[in-house]
Amino acid sequence: MGQRLEWGRRYLMVRPDHFRIDHVINPYMSTQDQPDPVLTLKQWESLGQAIVDAGGEVEVLAQRSDSPDMVYAMNLGLAAADGRAMLSHMRFEPRRKESLTAAEWFAEHGFALGRTGGEGVGPHFESGDAFVFGDSLVVGYGPRTEAEALKHLATDWNIRVRGLRIAHEGMYHLDLPFCPVDSTHAMIYPPAFDAASQAELSGIVPDPIVLTDAEAFAFSANSIVVGDTIIMPACSDRLRAILTGLGLTLVVLDLSEFHKGGGSARCLTNPLDFPLADITVPGGELIAPA
């Protein structure tokens, strides 16, 4: 059995005061299917309370009125426990103003800011594509993050980066088909990746928990682990047996209003404590399938 994750004890969340579907930038979104504001806030509050109940901490950032997707806080930037933050450079213009507010928040809280690009210049990077796992920062690229951004991450932060090419439009960020569970286990959905990256996954995840189609599209991998607790939007009986067998306590929440925008528990929470010590490599190192 793997060791508990070193990170995932402190999160940034965005209160959903202006959450709505104004545009379509992923297959789950429809302007004809709007979230209910009262239920949305109730579901968001239940997630924050579940994190606190599990022993975690939650910081809250106010949502910009001109940024309806900002509630998906995972994409505000990649934050490290040593006080560095790599801001997201969003692919789609409607989300780019989020980074202005994120930059202010990270700076006010003592983070040193980095960027792969901005104002339409430089490669796009969205932090929902990045997780520390094993000996690397694992980064998905293709739909939202560009391959060139992986080089920036590796060299700017002097870390080992392993890239996985996402090849499924319904799995547009890595946080949809990939979820670290402990130091050796991760939930994965192989069809999200191209053939070379599927092969690469076997060298990244020693003990994969392979999701079925139904589990993946119920947002099961868009879950978070807080100590001994895993907070999920859906969990099949099969997954429940596997995860409880690893000694985890399951908390399953209704986050269906946020599924209308294409995200769930992980998308709504930005971990502020990714450890970089074990993945530091002088000069950086990028490993990505050809």
2-27 tens-digit pLDDT? 899 999 999 999 999 999 999 999 99
pLDDT digits (tens, 9 = 90+) for 107-147: 999 999 999 987 778 999 999 999 999 999 999 999 999 99
How do strand 178-180 and strand 10-14 relate by DSSP bridges?
Answer: unpaired
pTM value is 0.97
Nearest to 62, CA basis, from 25, 109, 13:
13
Q: What is residue 91's predicted lDDT score, i.e. its pLDDT? A: 95
Q: What is residue 119's predicted lDDT score, i.e. its pLDDT? A: 75
How do strand 224-226 and strand 84-87 relate by DSSP bridges?
Answer: unpaired
The domains found in the chain, sorted by start residue, are 10-274 (3.75.10.10)
Query: What proportion of the chain, given as a percentage, has pLDDT over 90?
Result: 96
Sign of CA dihedral 71, 72, 78, 80: positive
Q: What is residue 121's predicted lDDT score, i.e. its pLDDT? A: 84
Residue 81: phi and psi, rounded to 5, are: -65, -20
Inform me whether the pLDDT recorded for 290 exceeds 80: no
